[in-house]
């Protein structure tokens, strides 16, 4: 597991890497346009997909090199169906799994920096080879002097200092990407996204903040079947977090054991209920819903890991959002009440108040339909088989320019919510679970 992975920390080095990447994106697009002129019409779709996959390769390559918050942003963007094309999102999704670990010297250096002591002085045993690695940190097995097995998450050195510069890097990549792919939303919508990501990333690089989040969820999550690890305070600092070791299989590993349909259904139901319980009862969610952040324990309970990216949901956002799914079902399943759907989108601040019902029906509804049908697919009936779930639609095509340009903004928590909900849909689809989808059962009677 040891690698030579030195992370470029200085703003100059990181900016230089990004400049080279932006130039590569531009050159790649020029070549693609030139080839398109002589490509047969029946081959254009395949050529476009290959082009977007190559763009995704370039972006993933540079973000992997930069690591840290830049790579974390790629994970977030991989979950944003209305920002990037599907083929690029699928490539960026690898950021959740394929990250090379830092070497042992950097691990030791970070521990000494945080505690003033070496690993052997803090733990009876410490495995210097990471067993899990992600964008901001990696995880090591250890045993305390009390004999307790623990998971020790260690942040990559220098990552916290790169947030602002990395977001500027992403903006440059957006600029290059806009020339090499489909349309992007309006600038002020992207600015809302960047502000929200910056706020969440500042919290995520503070492991003491994550420790507080873990303690909060451990104290407040009361539905059965969800296990949250205990924080080892004496072995935790701002850049090092030690947790009770939960033994189980990550979801992808568990699926490789070929679980029965009954087991798939049980695990899927737990994840579905946990998500909506957090949304409607706790009004607080963990936005990182990907397979690496959940364990299936021996008794089929779910171990919930990684609470770095946690978002509070305002009552106003929830009150408006609960009208969205029923309104989409009315329009696309029952062919009625588009006026109500327009009102919901306007209350969610997605569509401008200046958009008329006629304009909404003529210029926007057709473009909303693919994503709207995808969203309500699981909720239109009492039970849904996620093995039949359709893939999330890719980014709107050029014909949807008016829709993209009419997006007026959104609640700041919308970004984390959408990311978490898409993560839930992806998890349940990967599991192939049959789930009872009464998502409103955790909404209190007085709130309905």
More confident residue, 38 or 254: 254
Q: Where are the beta strands (DSSP E) in 239-381?
A: 240-244, 248-250, 284-286, 294-297, 302-304, 310-312
Render 169-222 in DSSP notation, one character per residue: HHHHHHHHHHHHSS----HHHHHHHHHHHHHHHHHHT-HHHHHHHHHHHHHH--
More confident residue, 161 or 105: 105
Helix ranges (DSSP H) in 79-148: 86-92, 104-115, 119-122
Pairwise CA distance, residues 129 & 5, whole Å: 13
| Cα angle 113-114-117, degrees, rounded to a multiple of 5 | 75
* pLDDT recorded at residue 3: 42
- Asked whether 214 and 221 are in contact (CB, 8 A), the reply is no
**Is the pLDDT at 207 greater than 90, yes or no?**
yes
* pLDDT recorded at residue 1: 40
* Residue 182: band (very low, low, confident or very high) from pLDDT cuts 50, 70, 90: very low
- Mean pLDDT in residue range 148-174: 77
* pLDDT recorded at residue 75: 60
Q: What is the pLDDT of residues 110-135, one digit of tens each?
A: 999 999 999 999 999 999 999 887 66
Both structure tokens of 420: 């978490």
Q: What is the pLDDT of residues 241-266, one digit of tens each?
A: 999 999 999 998 999 999 999 999 99
Pairwise CA distance, residues 67 & 213, whole Å: 24
Both structure tokens of 368: 């909303």
pLDDT, averaged across the chain? 81
Q: What is the pLDDT of residues 377-412, one digit of tens each?
A: 999 999 999 999 988 775 444 444 455 555 556 788
The rounded Cα 244 to chain-centroid distance in angstroms is 24
* Residue 371: band (very low, low, confident or very high) from pLDDT cuts 50, 70, 90: confident
- Asked whether 302 and 296 are in contact (CB, 8 A), the reply is yes
Render 346-390 in DSSP notation, one character per residue: HHTTSB-TT--HHHIIIIIHHHHHHHHHHHHTTTSSSEEEGGGPP
* pLDDT recorded at residue 111: 96
* pLDDT recorded at residue 239: 93
* Residue 18: band (very low, low, confident or very high) from pLDDT cuts 50, 70, 90: low
Count of H helices and E strands in the chain? Answer: 18, 13
- Mean pLDDT in residue range 289-305: 91
* pLDDT recorded at residue 400: 45
- Mean pLDDT in residue range 315-332: 95
Pairwise CA distance, residues 3 & 20, whole Å: 24
Distances (CA, A) of 343 to 43, 130, 324, 365, 380: 41, 50, 10, 13, 20
Q: Which residues of 229-251 are buried (b: 16+ CB within 10 A; e: fewer)?
A: bebbeebbbbbbbbbbbbebbbb
**Is the pLDDT at 275 greater than 60, yes or no?**
yes
* Residue found under tokens 């992007």: 184
Pairwise CA distance, residues 273 & 433, whole Å: 13
- Mean pLDDT in residue range 433-446: 87
* Residue 192: band (very low, low, confident or very high) from pLDDT cuts 50, 70, 90: low
* pLDDT recorded at residue 397: 46
- Mean pLDDT in residue range 55-59: 68
53-67, 210-224, 253-267, 326-340 — which is least confidently predicted? 53-67
Q: List CB contacts of 48: < 8 A, sequence separation 6 or more.
A: none
* Model confidence, pTM: 0.77
* pLDDT recorded at residue 153: 95
- Mean pLDDT in residue range 57-85: 59
* Residue 63: band (very low, low, confident or very high) from pLDDT cuts 50, 70, 90: low
Q: What is the pLDDT of residues 354-368, one digit of tens each?
A: 889 999 998 889 888
Pairwise CA distance, residues 358 & 14, whole Å: 48
**Is the pLDDT at 374 greater than 80, yes or no?**
yes
- Asked whether 284 and 417 are in contact (CB, 8 A), the reply is no
């Amino acid at each position: 597991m040891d690698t030579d992975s030195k992370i470029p920390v200085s703003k100059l080095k990181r900016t230089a890497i990004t400049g080279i990447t932006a130039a590569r994106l531009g050159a790649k697009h020029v070549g693609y346009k030139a080839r398109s002129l002589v490509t047969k019409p029946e081959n254009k779709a395949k050529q476009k997909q290959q082009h977007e996959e190559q763009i995704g390769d370039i972006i993933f390559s540079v973000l992997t090199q930069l690591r840290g918050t830049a790579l974390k942003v790629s994970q977030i963007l991989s979950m944003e169906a209305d920002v990037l094309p599907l083929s690029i999102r699928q490539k960026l999704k690898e950021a959740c799994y394929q990250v090379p670990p830092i070497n042992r010297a950097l691990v030791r250096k970070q521990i000494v920096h945080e505690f003033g002591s070496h690993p052997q002085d803090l733990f009876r045993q410490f495995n210097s080879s990471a067993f899990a690695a992600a964008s901001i940190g990696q995880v090591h097995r250890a045993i305390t002097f009390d004999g307790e097995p623990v998971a020790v998450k260690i942040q990559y050195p220098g990552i916290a200092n790169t947030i602002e510069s990395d977001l500027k890097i992403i903006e440059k990549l957006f600029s290059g990407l806009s020339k090499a792919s489909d349309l992007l939303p309006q600038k002020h919508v992207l600015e809302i996204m960047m502000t929200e990501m910056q706020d969440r990333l500042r919290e995520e690089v503070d492991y003491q903040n994550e420790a507080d989040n873990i303690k909060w969820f451990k104290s407040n999550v009361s539905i059965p079947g969800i296990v949250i690890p205990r924080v080892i305070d004496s072995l935790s600092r701002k850049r090092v977090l030690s947790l009770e070791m939960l033994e189980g299989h990550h979801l992808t590993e568990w699926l490789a054991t070929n679980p029965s349909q009954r087991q798939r259904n049980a695990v899927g139901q737990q994840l579905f209920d946990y998500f909506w319980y957090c949304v409607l009862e706790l009004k607080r969610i963990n936005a990182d819903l990907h397979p690496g952040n959940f364990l299936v324990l021996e008794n089929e309970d779910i171990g919930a890991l990684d609470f770095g990216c946690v978002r509070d949901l305002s009552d106003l956002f929830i009150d408006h959002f609960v009208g969205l799914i029923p309104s989409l079902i009315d329009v696309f399943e029952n062919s009625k009440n588009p006026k109500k759907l327009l009102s919901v989108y306007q209350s969610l601040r997605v569509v401008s108040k200046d958009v008329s019902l006629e304009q909404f029906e003529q210029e926007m509804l057709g473009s909303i339909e693919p994503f709207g049908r995808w969203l309500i697919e699981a909720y239109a009936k009492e039970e849904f088989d996620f093995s039949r779930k359709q893939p999330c639609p890719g980014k709107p095509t050029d014909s949807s320019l008016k829709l993209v340009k009419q997006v007026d903004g959104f609640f700041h928590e919308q970004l984390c919510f959408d990311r978490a909900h898409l993560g839930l849909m992806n998890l349940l689809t990967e599991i192939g679970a049959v789930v009872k989808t009464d998502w409103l059962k955790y909404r209190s009677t007085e709130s309905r």
